[in-house]
Amino acid sequence: MSQEIPDYRRQLLICLFLTLAVLAAFWQVKHCDFINYDDEDYITENSHIQNGITLEETRWAFTTSHAANWHPLTWLSHMLDYQLFGLKPGRHHLTNVFFHIANTLLLFLILNRMTRALWQSAFVAALFALHPLHVESVAWVSERKDVLSTFFWMLTMGAYISYVERPALQRYLPVLIFFALGMMAKPMLVTLPFVLLLIDYWPLQRFRQKRSAQEIQTDSHRPVSVDKQKGAAKKKYAEKGEAKTEKPADSKYRWTLIRPLLWEKIPLFALTALSSIVTYVAQQKGGAVVSIEAFPLSDRIANAFVSYVIYIRKMIWPNDLAVFYPHPGLLPAWQVVGAVLLLIAVTLIVIWIAEKFPYLAVGWLWYVGTLVPVIGIVQVGAQARADRYTYIPLIGLFIVAAWGIPEILKKWRFRKEVLFASSALSLLCFFIVTWTQVGYWQNSITVFSHAMEVTTHNSRAYINLGAAYNDLGNYRKAIEACDEAIKLDAKLEKAYYNRGLAYSRLGNHKQAVEDYDRAIEIDPRHAKAYNNRGIAYDILSNHRQAIGDFDRAIVTNPKYAEAYYNRGIVYGRLGNYKQAIGDFDRAIGFNPKYAEAYYNRAASYYSLGNQRQAFEDLKTAARFGNEDAKNFLRSQGINW
């Protein structure tokens, strides 16, 4: 009697393996800190996130273009994390890991459901789970949008398969809902309707013939394989003693089959168009879209072609991975021409042999198509490319490998043994590199120091390293890092700003003002530079100039709570307590947990003789952690 493990138990064992593999590879993230690259905007300095999920903050999430993105579901996700975990970074990181696990399991189950190819589906999911290029999406808290949007990508695909099996409006609605939710997590899903058309071709084979629900259900119990269908057809003709002839009607009716597939996706394409417009407006408003002057269109197109090839190389040999890759500008002609010829050749070949090997065309076009929004034609940021951009696209290349390699080895004598050994070895290697790469994400110092080691002319790494040294109080090293960044590019306002901050904390406020001047000259809308120059002027007893800078910071960012607070401090020094209270009110309005604002508003109320309100503010300041307020209330025997 056969002792073969039932299929559902195999699936359970594979799911268990995938879960444990992800946990083992990424468990270090629980010890990782937030980093000073987007994490401030998304969590650590974002008062909206730290207010938790409220009606007002939910409205903010759906209407803001903060961080140059419109992704309300991502904001709500961070709000929930903050409500549950506060500013404990390890918990935020583990949430990303659990989403990555969910995405891995869904990918496996969905591929297996479509193809009934258990081991190929498992291999694709394992590559997705353990590939080092995916570390950035999982180990970077700000990339919650990657893992969260992919979760809804997978749910959309699962709902779509259910709809294909039994087409009905009530089965189409979940497709629309999951797709819309995914777009609200990250607009990367704009390419999903295109991918659904690809899986219509293979493995669902909706381009070839119309099938009834009963036929689809019957097929769900066996692999959907073009080769097997062809083999069965040849066998049928052989049994009848007839020569097989091609059916010319097959191509005749192909458009009649494709047209309904396009029509049924019109609502998805409409949402895609809407999301693309909203995203572009949000990124332009946030200043993330880089001008043609910074990177000419020819340089962008050249970099895009080369990036396609570099991603493939890094998929096969993932070395020198960094949080930021500087844009190279003008690339050597041989690199660009070589990349273009390679991409064209591969595309033509996979299309030419698509009838025989449909998975090659689907996998390759999945990779090429899903990278289009982030390949850099519309330049967002100053990077040449980013590991996080491959989170979804690499699935296409994994499909090519999982189905293509067994096909290449099909005539080998020890095919199964070779496939098992090579798969296990590649996954083990990827696991080791991923585990090592996660270690570089311990904090801002480690992640940007590593970036400097594996890249050249990386001014971004120097800038963020300087900011990290500032946070640690190592101001001399911060100045050195900023000096290096300025040597690479003298037009980096953040380098001057961070160096000014370091000089200010060393007590050299005149030098700090000079650096803030330079930062503002480069970027006249640098609200933080105005705010910190105002603080320096206040320390230098130039109070009127300080108020002027706080005014400019507020004009640039009308919701800048710290600028209102600092202006209130200066008005208090000048004895204008009513004006000070007004500024503290505004600071508290934008940050209801601003303990220092409550404490200083209490001092202003006390100076005006309003002791009752002063004590109320002191109690609130104490509840939010202000130690001076706590000590004063203790000395008065007052319980807050």
Q: Is residue 628 part of a domain?
A: no
pLDDT (0 to 100) of residue 248: 40
Q: Can you list the positions of beta strands (E) in 157-250?
A: none
Give 159-177 as a DSSP string: HHHHHHHS--HHHHHHHHH
- State yes or no: pLDDT of 217 exceeds 50: no
Tokens standing for 189? 């899903």
Which domain, by its residues, includes 577?
455-602
Is there a single domain that holds both residue 427 and residue 540? no
Is there a single domain that holds both residue 367 and residue 471? no
Is there a single domain that holds both residue 481 and residue 558? yes
Q: Is residue 622 part of a domain?
A: no
Is there a single domain that holds both residue 218 and residue 330? yes
pLDDT (0 to 100) of residue 78: 98
pLDDT (0 to 100) of residue 67: 85
Q: With contact defined as beta carbons under 8 Å apart, do 487 and 458 qualify? A: no
* Sequence-distant (≥ 6) Cβ neighbours of residue 220 within 8 angstroms: 113, 116, 165
Q: Is residue 621 part of a domain?
A: no
Burial class (CB in 10 A: 0-12, 13-18, 19+), 204: buried
pLDDT digits (tens, 9 = 90+) for 591-636: 898 999 999 999 999 999 999 999 999 999 999 999 999 998 888 8
Task: Tell me if the pTM is above 0.95.
Answer: no
> Residue 531 — very low, low, confident or very high, per pLDDT cuts 50/70/90?
very high
Q: With contact defined as beta carbons under 8 Å apart, do 392 and 370 qualify? A: yes
Tokens standing for 201? 């071709």
pLDDT (0 to 100) of residue 158: 98
Return the percentage of the chain with pLDDT > 90, whole number: 81
Q: What is the CATH number of the domain that holds 525?
A: 1.25.40.10
pLDDT digits (tens, 9 = 90+) for 104-122: 999 999 999 999 999 999 9
Is there a single domain that holds both residue 67 and residue 121? yes
pLDDT (0 to 100) of residue 213: 45
Q: Is residue 230 part of a domain?
A: no
Among 377, 404, 439, identify where a domain stops. Answer: 439
Q: Is residue 626 part of a domain?
A: no
- State yes or no: pLDDT of 456 exceeds 70: yes
Is there a single domain that holds both residue 466 and residue 434? no
- Spatial distance between the Cα atoms of 271 and 248, rounded to a whole number of angstroms: 37
Q: Is residue 617 part of a domain?
A: no
Is there a single domain that holds both residue 371 and residue 467? no
pLDDT digits (tens, 9 = 90+) for 459-475: 999 999 999 999 999 99
pLDDT digits (tens, 9 = 90+) for 320-347: 999 999 999 889 999 999 999 999 999 9
Looking up tokens 């200043």, which residue turns up? Answer: 287
C-alpha gyration radius of the chain: 29
**Residues 358-372: what's their mean pLDDT?**
97
pLDDT digits (tens, 9 = 90+) for 131-175: 999 999 999 999 999 999 999 999 999 999 999 999 999 999 999
| Range among 60-64, 208-212, 218-222 with highest mean pLDDT value | 60-64
- State yes or no: pLDDT of 288 exceeds 60: no
Max CA pair span of the chain: 108
Q: Is residue 500 part of a domain?
A: yes
> Residue 286 — very low, low, confident or very high, per pLDDT cuts 50/70/90?
low
CA atoms within 13 A on the CB side of 144: 26
How many separate domains does the chain show?
2
> Residue 273 — very low, low, confident or very high, per pLDDT cuts 50/70/90?
very high
